[in-house]
Amino acid sequence: MNTIRYDISTNVSLHSQHALYQILGINIFTYILAGLIVFMLSMNFMLGPGWLGQQMGLEGTGTFTQISDSLPDSVDLSKSDFLF
């Protein structure tokens, strides 16, 4: 009697799991994408931000020491432009 209940519950859970995968569109590409996301986030955690750009030889990636010329050093918020 327990075997019958186990088989029925197993079949129902497998069918519902398969239906859920079909509804959500989970397939091999989903698992590959999830693996790539985990890989990229772990590399960012271990090597720091900009590791991929540094590996590719892009200048200015991963460093926060360069300040853009378009950014002002200080802003006076008491000017009439900033007042409501």
Domain edges within the chain: 2-56
Over residues 26-51, mean pLDDT = 90
Amino acid at 10: T
Tally the residues of the chain.
84
The tokens describing 17, both together, are: 């799991």
Q: Looking at residue 83, what is its pLDDT? A: 78
Q: Which helix (H) or strand (E) holds 30?
A: helix 28-47
Q: Is the pTM of this model over 0.85?
A: no
What is the per-residue pLDDT for 79?
A: 83
Using a 10 angstrom Cβ sphere, with 0-12 exposed, 13-18 middle and 19 or more buried, the burial of residue 84 is exposed
Taking only the tens place, the pLDDT of each residue in 39-76 is 999 988 888 877 887 777 777 666 666 667 777 778 78
